[in-house]
């Protein structure tokens, strides 16, 4: 029989899903009656590694197995030869009843000797935070979470929920659990989502998208939501300027025949060149002249708001921005 991997390496920006995975392991592995003896979690540091190594070699007490968790672990950083030698001796000898979980935000550096060693004994899983502009992936995340929680949700309701909550995974699970309590519902649809879920992610990104696709009604709803959350209008307009400046540069470079993602990223000030593909898709249906007009109007609005902040002025400008 193949021995189970004694180590789990979790990495990524989605702390909620990472915590959820650890809690699921904790439920599967540990007997509730013996949890105080068989579950250990330590802060980062060399001393923590030494204590964790000692714990992971100790058989569990009573019923169930043992789980040791090292969040943001230094074990995934460069380490001295003495520690590496110790790990080389310990890792193959971890009792089958024991599991070690190591977490970090960044992907482990595969060039490090410590990473190469740990990979031999580890199940590695990424927990990425989906960027808010990847709407299709956000909708799929809603569907996956709903299936996990036993909530039968329509495609339209999944889209509504993704739009309302963005990439806030913790809030997504909280709201789905609320919807799950509606035991009289065979299937959750858009009206139930709107009634139960408080829209909390009326972001300027969504507002920019609504302006881009000429959806005046949606744009005004989003603007009202931002106002209700006391978002400063100057900050909202500044974010819109940043987003439309990116789109404008992307459109200019596409029309110029540019194909190098690094060049796109440089001029559009995009931190991750992999995002360029999605930005190119986003500007396919909008003309260069309209992008230039919107940028000019936003800059004028920004200057005027510095002098006199008036919501009705912003509202009327948003309507104009939605014109073809």
How far apart are alpha carbons 287 and 214 in whole angstroms? 12
User: pLDDT digits over 200-239, tens only?
Assistant: 444 677 889 899 999 999 899 888 888 876 777 887 888 8
How high is the pLDDT of residue 10?
A: 94
Does 79 fall in a domain?
yes
| Structural domains counted in the chain | 3
One domain for residues 139 and 121: no
Could you say which residues of the chain have pLDDT below 50?
1-3, 199-202
Does 201 fall in a domain?
no
One domain for residues 317 and 214: yes
How high is the pLDDT of residue 136?
A: 84
**Would residue 87 be called left, alpha or beta, if left means φ above 0 and alpha means ψ between -120 and 50 degrees?**
alpha
User: pLDDT digits over 95-125, tens only?
Assistant: 889 999 999 888 888 888 888 888 888 899 9
One domain for residues 216 and 316: yes
One domain for residues 211 and 302: yes
Does 12 fall in a domain?
yes
How high is the pLDDT of residue 198?
A: 56
How high is the pLDDT of residue 202?
A: 46
Does 28 fall in a domain?
yes
3-state SS assignment for residue 48: helix
Alpha helices by DSSP H, listed for the chain, are 15-29, 35-38, 46-56, 81-90, 113-119, 135-149, 155-165, 169-180, 190-196, 204-212, 216-228, 233-255, 261-268, 276-282, 288-307, 311-321
Q: Which domain holds residue 315?
A: 206-321
User: pLDDT digits over 255-276, tens only?
Assistant: 999 888 888 888 887 766 777 8
Question: Any residues with CB less than 8 A from the CB of 243 and at least 6 apart, and which?
Answer: 204, 205, 208
Does 1 fall in a domain?
no
In this structure, what CATH number is given to the domain that contains residue 162? 1.10.8.60
The two tokens of residue 49 are 């590694």
Task: Provide the whole-model pTM.
Answer: 0.60
Does 141 fall in a domain?
yes
How far apart are alpha carbons 23 and 117 in whole angstroms? 26
How far apart are alpha carbons 121 and 91 in whole angstroms? 7
Does 173 fall in a domain?
yes
One domain for residues 16 and 114: yes
In this structure, what CATH number is given to the domain that contains residue 224? 1.20.272.10
How far apart are alpha carbons 261 and 114 in whole angstroms? 33
Last residue of a domain, one of 147, 177, 196: 196
How high is the pLDDT of residue 288?
A: 94
One domain for residues 142 and 121: no
Last residue of a domain, one of 99, 126, 153: 126
Last residue of a domain, one of 74, 104, 126: 126
């Amino acid at each position: 029989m193949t021995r189970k991997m004694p180590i789990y390496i979790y990495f990524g920006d989605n702390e909620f899903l990472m915590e959820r995975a650890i809690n699921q392991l904790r439920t599967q592995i540990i007997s509730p009656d013996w949890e105080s003896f068989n579950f250990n979690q330590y802060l980062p540091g060399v001393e923590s590694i030494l204590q964790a190594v000692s714990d992971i070699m100790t058989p569990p007490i009573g019923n169930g197995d043992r789980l040791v968790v090292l969040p943001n672990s230094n074990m995934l950083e460069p380490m001295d030869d003495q520690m590496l030698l110790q790990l080389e001796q310990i890792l193959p000898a971890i009792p089958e009843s024991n599991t070690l979980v190591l977490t970090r935000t960044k992907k482990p550096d595969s060039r490090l000797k410590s990473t190469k060693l740990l990979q031999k004994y580890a199940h590695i899983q990424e927990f990425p935070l989906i960027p808010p502009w990847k709407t299709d992936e956000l909708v799929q995340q809603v569907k996956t979470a709903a299936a996990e929680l036993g909530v039968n949700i329509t495609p339209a309701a999944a889209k509504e929920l993704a739009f309302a909550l963005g990439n806030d995974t913790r809030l997504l699970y909280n709201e789905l659990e609320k919807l799950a309590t509606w035991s009289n519902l065979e299937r959750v649809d858009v009206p139930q989502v709107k009634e139960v879920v408080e829209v909390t992610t009326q972001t300027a990104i969504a507002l920019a998208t609504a302006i881009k696709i000429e959806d005046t009604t949606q744009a005004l709803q989003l603007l009202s939501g931002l106002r209700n959350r006391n978002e400063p209008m100057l900050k909202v307009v500044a974010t819109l300027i940043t987003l439309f400046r990116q789109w404008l540069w992307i459109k200019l470079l596409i029309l110029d025949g540019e194909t190098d993602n690094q060049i796109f990223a440089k001029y559009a000030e995009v931190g991750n060149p992999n995002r360029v593909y999605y930005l190119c898709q986003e500007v396919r249906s909008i003309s260069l002249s309209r992008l230039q007009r919107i940028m000019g109007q936003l800059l004028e609005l920004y200057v005027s708001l510095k002098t006199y902040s008036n919501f009705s002025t912003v509202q009327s400008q948003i309507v104009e921005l939605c014109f073809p």
